[in-house]
């Protein structure tokens, strides 16, 4: 069998709330589709007006029996609102399952963020079978962003 990468939220072994995916222990719950509306809460009119930056920790877990190599991540569809962006950072390996942030507005320590595209993909270290890589997602809402009812963006993982 080959490598099989699946997304899992964090926040405790039994966590099933992606809004509470703030690091710590990897959840046993698989996230079938990562998108703005199921990883982050809706942006309130006040947040759209003032601007807001929030973070989530999700694990890319290899449930296969071979290492995942050549792993890259990128924004395959930018957010539908011109005033929002998704940026990504990789936690240093090995994942320290006790590392978490106090709340969604607190940046994780030691994680550098970038805005990967199909032309400039973010490399993720090889992921051994039965192991994972921690991906931090930063959603930035610029000040004076028009409030929209359905802001969406998509990111993609590729691997061998």
Q: Using CA of residue 60, residue 18, residue 11, residue 13, what is the dihedral sign?
A: negative
Q: Which of 1-5, 6-10, 119-123 has the highest mean pLDDT?
A: 119-123
Residue 36: band (very low, low, confident or very high) from pLDDT cuts 50, 70, 90: very low
pLDDT at 22 over 90: yes
d(CA 51, CA 110): 23
Q: Which of 41-50, 91-100, 112-121 has the largest mean confidence?
A: 112-121
Write down the domain spans for the chain: 5-158
Residue 38: pLDDT band (50, 70, 90) is confident
54 neighbors 105 (Cβ within 8 angstroms): yes
pLDDT higher than threshold 60 for residue 37 = no
Q: What is the mean pLDDT of the chain?
A: 90
Cα separation, 103 vs 9, whole angstroms? 15
What's the mean pLDDT in 60-75? 96
* Torsional class of 19: left (φ above 0), alpha (ψ -120 to 50), beta (otherwise): alpha
Average pLDDT over residues 78-96: 87
**53: exposed, middle or buried (Cβ count in 10 Å: 0-12, 13-18, 19+):** middle
Out of 9-13, 30-34, 53-57, 153-157, which region has the weakest mean confidence (pLDDT)?
A: 30-34
Distance in angstroms (rounded) separating the CA atoms of residues 82 and 142 = 9
Give residue 136's Cα distance to chain centre: 5
Look at residue 123 and tell me whether its pLDDT is greater than 80: yes
51/153: higher pLDDT? 51
Residues counted in the chain = 160
Say how far apart CA 11 and CA 27 lie, in whole Å.
7
Which residues touch 16 (CB under 8 Å, ≥6 apart)?
9, 27, 29
Question: Which pLDDT band, with edges at 50, 70 and 90, does 32 fall under?
Answer: low
Q: Give the residue carrying structure tokens 């607190």.
A: 106
Q: Does domain 5-158 have CATH number 2.60.40?
A: yes
The model's pTM: 0.92
């Amino acid at each position: 069998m080959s490598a099989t990468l699946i997304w899992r939220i964090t926040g405790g072994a039994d966590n099933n709330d992606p809004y509470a995916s703030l690091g710590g222990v990897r959840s046993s719950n698989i996230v079938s589709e990562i998108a703005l509306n199921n990883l982050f809460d809706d942006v309130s009119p006040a947040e759209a007006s003032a601007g807001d930056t929030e973070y989530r920790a999700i694990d890319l877990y290899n449930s296969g029996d071979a290492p995942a190599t050549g792993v890259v991540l990128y924004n395959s569809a930018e957010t539908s609102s011109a005033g929002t962006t998704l940026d990504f950072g990789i936690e240093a390996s090995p994942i320290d399952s006790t590392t978490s942030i106090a709340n969604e507005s607190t940046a994780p320590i030691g994680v550098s963020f970038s805005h990967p595209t199909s032309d400039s993909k973010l490399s993720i270290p090889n992921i051994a079978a039965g192991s994972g890589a921690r991906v931090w997602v930063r959603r930035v809402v610029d000040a004076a962003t028009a409030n929209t009812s359905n802001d969406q963006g998509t990111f993609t993982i590729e691997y061998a």
